[in-house]
Structure 1
């Protein structure tokens, strides 16, 4: 008989296979998709920082009109996301991705020659239509190609390559464009259009058989509605967490943070450029390290860490307001963007993996559309709230809102989302048990 006081063997540590093994084990289709991410997003980086400069300084549109033009894509995307998710499930993700890529190419070409507001508005409309289906269709296609156990790493590596491409494109674009030569801006928009040709050729050639129209399951029409999907186990709290994290996260990084840095911290535009460069560098350098560290852990616990990291980043932004117009303010804003990037490396592999582990094959488009819609909704709602608080000189209230909101995301992830997720969707020990 064994002794009653014998020591138990400790549980083994989570296995963290090297990234080389991940690449080797990845299906051929997944490797092909990853191989062109940098090329695709170099084009995006070429034009991303220069939209206002091109439309206002080169084309001569009033700033008020430029603001309206740039508001068209997110609003159109938000309106089209729901129908787009249904379209993905009916036609197949690959078919919808092809349509989105064609729309993006058309948008870039039209915008390159947009010498009137009407032509520019058409380009922005095309861009919004593409945005509305591109994200959910790409995610659905990736989930159809990449097995569940590899998706977290895939989404993380994809995010690294995406940022590398945008960073390289931004550097090249800054060297090429000249506000006194419209042709330099036309060149970068045409180059952006050309950067989407490789993915189009892949989808029409070697990947023509991936993500076809899914076989429908035996379910009533009402069971495939967005309302029914939100009632599926774990889905409603996950979507609420997506909205909240986008509200206190990306929407503020893109709108509220630059506004606070300029108005309160009195940071120069060059200082803002340094901050966004620091953000990109941290993502490129740390994402692969983070992927190794979070392997085998519950995704909700990773999201807890994300909220804490973001709370600290917003505290750094708040401190910049105590030393306005100094090098210290610039360094604090850059530190805010860099620390925020660490949180991004925790979010990007986990939330998309959770969504696609929850989704059945024939409803994957709708699940990813809900994900995209929650993200876009936050991007529409957050900037006006940030503008109202900062415009009313409620700077401390603004920072406290972001810090408290980030910590609330951490609490909600472990107190609500973790309990609601079905076994297997949360990674780590839950996946092993499932």
Structure 2
């Protein structure tokens, strides 16, 4: 950690040292937004769910244009606009007693989600490079989870559906924490440029169509989508639904499992970064997929013993094993995209990464809802394991078309 920190420029240290604070507010609101909309503001549950989906849909819609604007105007300007939208959205949502106000609020939040991923990734890739970049993405992921996890715990103890003011407070705190990255962008990071200089006449190679014609980009995008579909796309829908309806564990067990997920990521990310340093990123993805397959088998086993202590242990174990796999995903995929990109196309490459992630996060819950709603729990687990095996296959294909440098292999000059 000391050598990594010493290798970072001051801009990288500013970014990394404030990550947990930036995500603390989001952690306080993320698990309770739908509860707030339905139980506190009295919106229909179906409408509340649609509002939650609208955040992701809005983010997906603005990701493409956002990536282009990042390359043309710079990540800093686009991120500032996104953060202002986030602050306004959280403030509106804190007092949203009318469906129209809530709709506008979640769309503003979605705008920030759509530009923040490609924007901050482009900013990070501009500040750090090489092996340090891969380490940065991994450590950044651990700190994001730390902030969200701690925020979720604080929010769980603080909010009360019988006291609407407690929910108003957490959404206002979410807005306030956005002032931290906004202050960085207006202060210490104001000189960081991700866009080309005005006098740069180099030819631009990188419309979305041209980028997606590259075999490596096509395969890493398919791999990202599928990984999120069987991974993050199930964490907020498929996993909780299976745990409650099939394994028949308590909500307390589900809550503990999410805490275990955060703890494993925070505790193991540094060790995993050391293990995967210098190894082919595609091979790391294959190991991740096998670990995820094992986690789904554990969850399936919990479903065979519903309502028992063994089921509770299986549900918690699933999240712990799954988290171990997560520590391998986040350092590798963003690093591949940014090593494939040039300085002139970095925003669009990261936008493609973000779109693939959001696509998996949107479709994953839909499939889980249909399969588990029809009582096909066995088929659901089988589909997740099969998806993990397919990720291994896609990683093998990607390795054949990916340049060694982008795959994390040191190239001797």
Q: Same fold (TM over 0.5)?
A: yes
Q: Which residues of 2 match residues 13-412 of structure 1 at below 5 A?
A: 19-215=1-197, 218-219=202-203, 223-232=205-214, 234-412=216-394
CA deviations over 1:204-250 (Å, ceiling 9, x no partner): 01110113422466436xx4221100123511111111111111111
CA deviations over 1:35-76 (Å, ceiling 9, x no partner): 100111111111111112211111111111111111111111
d(CA) in 2 for partners of 1:48, 1:113: 17
Scaled by the length of structure 2, what TM-score is found? 0.97
The question of whether the paired residues in 2 share the 8 Å contact of 1:230 and 1:236 is answered with yes
Please give the root-mean-square deviation of Cα atoms over the aligned residues, in Å: 1.3
d(CA) in 2 for partners of 1:403, 1:261: 17
Shift of 1:379: 1.5
Shift of 1:301: 0.9
CA deviations over 1:103-138 (Å, ceiling 9, x no partner): 111111011111111111110110111111110111
Q: What's the secondary structure of 2:282's corresponding residue?
A: helix
The question of whether the paired residues in 2 share the 8 Å contact of 1:424 and 1:433 is answered with no
d(CA) in 2 for partners of 1:94, 1:405: 37
Residue 432 of structure 1 corresponds to 411
The question of whether the paired residues in 2 share the 8 Å contact of 1:389 and 1:395 is answered with yes
Shift of 1:406: 0.5
d(CA) in 2 for partners of 1:34, 1:359: 22
Unaligned runs of 5+ in 2: none
CA deviations over 1:138-194 (Å, ceiling 9, x no partner): 100110111233111000110111111111111111121121111111111111111
The question of whether the paired residues in 1 share the 8 Å contact of 2:195 and 2:343 is answered with no
Scaled by the length of structure 1, what TM-score is found? 0.92
Residue 401 of structure 2 corresponds to 420
CA deviations over 1:271-317 (Å, ceiling 9, x no partner): 11111111111001100111111111111111111000000000011
Unaligned runs of 5+ in 1: 1-18
d(CA) in 2 for partners of 1:64, 1:232: 41
The question of whether the paired residues in 1 share the 8 Å contact of 2:70 and 2:194 is answered with no
The question of whether the paired residues in 2 share the 8 Å contact of 1:153 and 1:349 is answered with yes
Q: What's the secondary structure of 1:115's corresponding residue?
A: coil
